[in-house]
Amino acid sequence: MEELDENTPLFAISVAAELSAMHPQTLRDYDRIGLVVPIRTGGQTRRYTMRNVAQLREVARLSAEGVSLEGIRRILELENQNAAQAKRIRDLEQALANELMNRPGARVFAAGEQGVESIARGKRPSKHAEIVLWRAR
C-alpha cells in the first residue's frame, strides 16, 4: 500500500475548490497560468494534493492582502524550492545515518541493572536491559 503524504494526489477539482473556498474555474485558471499546478491522471483529469490546497489558500490570503498574481507566483516558487531543498537535506541526513550505522565497528549498547553492556550487531539486549542506545562513530 502506498504511503500518503502532503504530495499524494487525492482530490478532484470540485473537492479542492471546496476545501480552498474557490470556484473550480479559478483553479483551472491558476493551473493554466502555472500558479498552482495539480497532478494529472492518465485521463488528464486534475488531482490536487493537500499541498496544492494549502497553496490555494495561501493564494487567496495573499491576493486579499493586495499581492499581484505574479508576486504570488514568485512567492510560491520560492516556497516550493525551499520545500524541495528541505526534503533533499532530510534524504541526505537519512543516507548519512544509514551509512554510519552500516560501517564496520558500529557498536550498540544497552543499559540495565548490571550497567552498560555492548551488544553484537543483530542481537537483542538481554531481558534486564531497560534502555538501548546506539552511537555511530
98-133 b/e with 16+ CB inside 10 Å = b? eeeeeeeeeebebeeeeeeeebeeeeebeeebeeee
Please check whether residue 106 is in contact with residue 121, taking contact to mean a CB–CB distance below 8 angstroms: yes
Between CA 121 and CA 116 the distance in angstroms is 16
> How many DSSP H helices and E strands does the chain contain?
4, 5
Using pLDDT thresholds of 50, 70 and 90, give the confidence band for residue 137. Answer: low
pLDDT at 134: 57
Q: Which three cell numbers stand for residue 31?
A: 493551473
Region 35-52 average pLDDT: 93
Every domain of the chain and the residues it spans:
13-101, 104-137
- pLDDT at residue 66 in the model: 97
Phi-psi region of 76 (alpha: psi -120 to 50; beta: other; left: phi over 0): alpha
Does domain 13-101 correspond to CATH entry 1.10.1660.10? yes
For residue 48, give the DSSP letter: B
The pTM of the full predicted model, rounded to 2 decimals, is 0.64
Residue range 70-85: mean pLDDT, rounded? 93
DSSP class of residue 2 equals: P
